[in-house]
C-alpha cells in the first residue's frame, strides 16, 4: 500500500514522525514523505527533521509563504502533479494548516482516500483559519483519527458516519514521550543562562494576537507586569518578529529587562525549555497538549480552544488577550497555586501504532 504522508508547517513534523516509523515496521505499507514547504526556514523546518530523525522528504513542493488563497492554491497545483505521478493508495494529512486542506481537497477529487490525523477538534470560532481547515478536511476525509472523545462527538454532530471515526489517541504525545529523555540532555538552559522553575516560557504567533497592534500591545503590557516577578523567555515565530518591526515595538520590549526574545528553537531544545519552566504562556494548539503531559501549568492566550480536554483534564487555563486575566493567572502560579491535571486516555505513546494497524486492516487497493 503506497501512502503519501503530507507535512507543511512546523506543528506537522512531530505528528507525522511516529506514523512514518510505524508504517516502516509493516512490510505491506510503503510510506512516502511529501513536504509542501509552507514552512521553509531552518528554525521552522530543518531543525525538526534533524531532531526527530525524520527522513528527508521524498518530495518537496517548495511553496513558501503567501496569502491564504495563493498558498493553498499553489500547494494544490503542485500536489496534483505528485498524485498523477505517484498514484498512491492513500494520502495521510495531519493537523489543521493550509497544507492539510490543500492536499486533502486535491486527493479526494482523484478518488484517493484520505486519512486525517487529529480529526474532530473544534474551537467553534470560524475567524480562525485553522477552524475552516479542520471542518473542511474532516468533511471530505475517509479515515478520521481522533485524539479524544470530544472530537468523536463533534464529528458525529456534523453528520459524519461513525464507521469513519477511530479514537486512537495523540500522535504528538507519542513523539514527546519518545524524545523526553533525549531532550533532558539539551544544553538550552545553560545557553540561555536559566535555572529550572525560574522562568516562564512563551510562544505567541496567532494572527488574532499579533496582527492587530492594539491587541498585541495589550498582551505585551501584561508581559511587562509579569516579567517584574519572573523571567519570561520567548522563542519568537517569524510572523511575530515581523509585526514587532512593523509596529515599532522594539523600544517598548527593550525596556522589559526580564523579557528575553530568542530565535525559534528546535524540537528538543523547546521540549527542555517547556519541561523545566515554572509555567507556559502560549497561543499554540499543540503546546496546550504538551504541557498537559508534562504537568506544567499552561496559560492560553486565546478566547477558545479546540482542545478542551486540556482544560477539563489537563493543566490548561484559557485567558484570551485580557491583560488583567493574563497577569492574575500568572501571579497565582508564581505564588504556587497552580492547576494540577491528569493524563487523557490514550495519550500513551501508542497512537501511531494504532493508526498503522487500522490502516493495515483496511483493504485500500
Ligand atoms: C501556520 C499555521 C498555524 C500554525 C503555525 C505554526 C495555517 C493557516 N497556519 O501559521 O496553524 O500554528 O503555522 O507555526 O496554515 N514565515 C517565515 N519562515 C517560515 C514560515 C513562515 O518567515 O519558515 C513567515 C512568513 O513571512 C509568513 C508568516 O511567517 O508570511 C506566516 O507563515 P504562514 O505559514 O502563512 O502561517 P503561520 O503564521 O506560520
Over residues 163-219, the pLDDT tens digits come to 999 999 999 999 999 999 999 999 999 999 999 999 999 999 999 999 999 999 999
Whether 235 is covered by a domain: the verdict is: yes
Same domain for 165 and 307?
no
Please give the pLDDT value at position 362.
87
Residue bearing cell 453528520:
159
Whether 339 is covered by a domain: the verdict is: no
CATH code of 81's domain: 3.40.50.2000
Same domain for 127 and 194?
no
**Residue-wise burial string across 50-64, b where 16 or more C-beta atoms lie within 10 A, e elsewhere:** ebbebeebebebebe
- Structural domain count of the chain: 2
> 279 vs 101, 108, 203, 297, 306, CA distance in Å?
33, 42, 12, 5, 21
pLDDT in tens, 98-114: 999 999 999 999 999 99
Q: Cβ–Cβ contacts within 10 Å for residue 36, how many?
A: 31
Joined grid coordinates for residue 6: 503530507
CA-wise closest residue to 36 among 94, 122, 121: 94
Distance CA(48)–CA(42), nearest Å, equals: 9
Distance from Cα 333 to the centre of ligand 1, integer Å: 31
From atom 9 of ligand 1, which residue's Cα is the shortest distance away?
A: 97
Same domain for 247 and 314?
yes
Same domain for 214 and 352?
no
**Residue-wise burial string across 180-204, b where 16 or more C-beta atoms lie within 10 A, e elsewhere:** eeebeebebbeebebeeeebbbbbb
Whether 120 is covered by a domain: the verdict is: yes
Distance CA(54)–CA(23), nearest Å, equals: 13
Distance from Cα 26 to the centre of ligand 1, integer Å: 34
From atom 16 of ligand 1, which residue's Cα is the shortest distance away?
A: 238
Same domain for 327 and 206?
yes
Whether 15 is covered by a domain: the verdict is: yes
Same domain for 330 and 354?
no
Sheet holding 30-35, edge to edge: 59-60, 30-35, 2-7, 90-94, 114-117, 143-146, 165-167
- Give residue 82's domain range: 2-170+347-361
Whether 57 is covered by a domain: the verdict is: yes
Distance from Cα 345 to the centre of ligand 1, integer Å: 31
Please give the pLDDT value at position 365.
62
Pocket test for ligand 1, best of 6, 7, 9, 241 (most atoms within 8 A of CB): 9
> 97 vs 104, 130, 131, 332, CA distance in Å?
11, 6, 9, 34
Pocket test for ligand 1, best of 14, 41, 239, 300 (most atoms within 8 A of CB): 239
Same domain for 93 and 6?
yes
Name the 3-class secondary structure at 281. strand
Same domain for 41 and 145?
yes
Give average pLDDT by consecutive 10-residue segment, the chain, 365 residues: 98 98 97 98 97 97 98 98 98 98 98 98 97 98 98 98 98 98 98 98 98 98 98 98 98 98 98 98 98 98 98 98 98 94 96 97 76
Residue bearing cell 496559560:
299
Active-site amino acid positions = 205
pTM above 0.95, yes or no: yes
Distance from Cα 194 to the centre of ligand 1, integer Å: 28
Same domain for 162 and 188?
no
Whether 279 is covered by a domain: the verdict is: yes
pLDDT in tens, 269-287: 999 999 999 999 999 999 9
In the chain, % of residues over pLDDT 70:
99
Sheet holding 231-236, edge to edge: 259-263, 231-236, 199-203, 279-282, 298-300, 316-318
Whether 352 is covered by a domain: the verdict is: yes
The pocket around ligand 1, CB under 6 angstroms, is made up of 9-11, 38-41, 44, 65, 96-98, 129-130, 205, 237-239
Amino acid at each position: 500500500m503506497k501512502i503519501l504522508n503530507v507535512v507543511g508547517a512546523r506543528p506537522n513534523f512531530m505528528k507525522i514522525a511516529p506514523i512514518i516509523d510505524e508504517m516502516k515496521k509493516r512490510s505491506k505499507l510503503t510510506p512516502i514523505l511529501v513536504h509542501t514547504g509552507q514552512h521553509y526556514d531552518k528554525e521552522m523546518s530543518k531543525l525538526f527533521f534533524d531532531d526527530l530523525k525524520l527522513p528527508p522528504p521524498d518530495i518537496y513542493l517548495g511553496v513558501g509563504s503567501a496569502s491564504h488563497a495563493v498558498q493553498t492554491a499553489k500547494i494544490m497545483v503542485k500536489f496534483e502533479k505528485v498524485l498523477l505521478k505517484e498514484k498512491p493508495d492513500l494520502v495521510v494529512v495531519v493537523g489543521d494548516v493550509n497544507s492539510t486542506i490543500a492536499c486533502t481537497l486535491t486527493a479526494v477529487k482523484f478518488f484517493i482516500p484520505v486519512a486525517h490525523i487529529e480529526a474532530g477538534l473544534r474551537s467553534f470560532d470560524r475567524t480562525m483559519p485553522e477552524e475552516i481547515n479542520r471542518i473542511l478536511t474532516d468533511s471530505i476525509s475517509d479515515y478520521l483519527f481522533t485524539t479524544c472523545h470530544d472530537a468523536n462527538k463533534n464529528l458525529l454532530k456534523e453528520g459524519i458516519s461513525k464507521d469513519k471515526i477511530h479514537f486512537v489517541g495523540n500522535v504528538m504525545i507519542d513523539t514527546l514521550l519518545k524524545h523526553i529523555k533525549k531532550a533532558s540532555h539539551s544544553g538550552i538552559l545553560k545557553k540561555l543562562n536559566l535555572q529550572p522553575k525560574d522562568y516562564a516560557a512563551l510562544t505567541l504567533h496567532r494572527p488574532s494576537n499579533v496582527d492587530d497592534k492594539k491587541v498585541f500591545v495589550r498582551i505585551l503590557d501584561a508581559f511587562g507586569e509579569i516579567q517584574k516577578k519572573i523571567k519570561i523567555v520567548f522563542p519568537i515565530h517569524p510572523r511575530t518578529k515581523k509585526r514587532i518591526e512593523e509596529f515599532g515595538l522594539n523600544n517598548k520590549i527593550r525596556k522589559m529587562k526580564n523579557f528575553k526574545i530568542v530565535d525559534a528553537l528546535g524540537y528538543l531544545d523547546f521540549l527542555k525549555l517547556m519541561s523545566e519552566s515554572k509555567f507556559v504562556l502560549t497561543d499554540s494548539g499543540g503546546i496546550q497538549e504538551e504541557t498537559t503531559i508534562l504537568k506544567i501549568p499552561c496559560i492560553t492566550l486565546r478566547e477558545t480552544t479546540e482542545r478542551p480536554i486540556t482544560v477539563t483534564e489537563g493543566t490548561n487555563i484559557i485567558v484570551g488577550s485580557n491583560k488583567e486575566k493574563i497577569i492574575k493567572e500568572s501571579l497565582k502560579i508564581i505564588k504556587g497555586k497552580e492547576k494540577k491535571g491528569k493524563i487523557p486516555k490514550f495519550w500513551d505513546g501508542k497512537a501511531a501504532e494504532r493508526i498503522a494497524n487500522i490502516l493495515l486492516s483496511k483493504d485500500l487497493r
